[in-house]
Amino acid sequence: MEASDLVVPVREGAVNQQLRYALRSWEAHLPHRRVWLIGYRPAWVGGVGHIATHQNGRTKFQNTTLAMRYACTNPEISDPFLWANDDMFVMEPVDAMPVLHRGPVREVERHYAERASGMYLRGMRETRALLAEYGHEDPLSYELHVPMLIGKQGMLGALEAGQRLDVLHKRTAYGVLNRIGGAQIRDVKVMHRGPRFDRSTPFLSTMPDSFDNGEVGRVIRSRFPAPSAYETTRGR
């Protein structure tokens, strides 16, 4: 089967060293056909498709939902396509991106409720309630910091179902409504600077601070020292 395109929403105005090393990791380890950036394209990025958007949503969630709609309605982008954020790294070769989930939403919700509140947690609760309306009383969470294979019509249907929510957890809505199943893993996001994180996983994700100043960032940068084909000479 032909490899899928890799689609990445990118925020405006950032130097974005995480994207630089994510591209290196994808080139090395994640089979794909073409990379598409939706939103902003840093000046040092070349050899990719680009769809410029006005990122004028009130929140980053609205901006990424807009980017998802562009991806699902652009005939040049493969169907299905891989959806990834610019801070997701593939540390070891994979033959194809596996289907992965985080376990029941209720457990993920409990984890977040013990640590924080805010729009993200509210969106999680509202997405869980929405899915219950569709008969999924105990849905799985797909809010992992790893690439995810997306079918266009399935995602457009999920976005339609959740259009009244301003913070729809669209990966979860897509995965549950389309019954994609998958294997459970712990989330791979590393939010701290320290040396203790899972180095056995083929997937990692970072925060700007943990990438710039933490051990996880040092590991990622040392793994991928050479520029990828997606980098111009500028900024190497």
For residue 203, the one-letter residue type is F
- Whole-structure pTM value: 0.94
* Per-residue pLDDT, 115: 77
Do the beta carbons of residue 7 and residue 32 sit within 8 Å?
no
Q: Phi, psi at residue 87, to the nearest 5°?
A: -120, 30
* Per-residue pLDDT, 236: 45
The answer to whether position 180 is within a domain reads yes
Give the β-pairing of 189-190 and 183-184. unpaired
- In this prediction, the residues of the chain whose per-residue pLDDT falls under 50 are 235-236
Which letter, b or e, does each residue of 67-95 get, where b requires 16 or more Cβ atoms within 10 Å of its Cβ? bbebbbebeebbbbbbbbbbbbbbbeeee
* Per-residue pLDDT, 14: 63
Q: How far apart are CA 144 and CA 154, in angstroms?
A: 19
CB atoms within 10 A of CB 204: 27
Quote the mean pLDDT of the chain.
Answer: 94
The answer to whether position 230 is within a domain reads no
Domain count, the chain: 1
The answer to whether position 233 is within a domain reads no
Listed in sequence order, the DSSP H helices in 104-206 are 105-113, 119-133, 152-161, 170-177
Q: What is the CATH number of the domain that holds 36?
A: 3.90.550
The answer to whether position 70 is within a domain reads yes
Q: Which domain holds residue 16?
A: 6-223
The answer to whether position 232 is within a domain reads no
The answer to whether position 228 is within a domain reads no
The answer to whether position 234 is within a domain reads no
The answer to whether position 1 is within a domain reads no
| DSSP annotation string for 85-127 | -TTEEE-S--SSPPPEE-SBHHHHHHHHHTT--SHHHHHHHHH
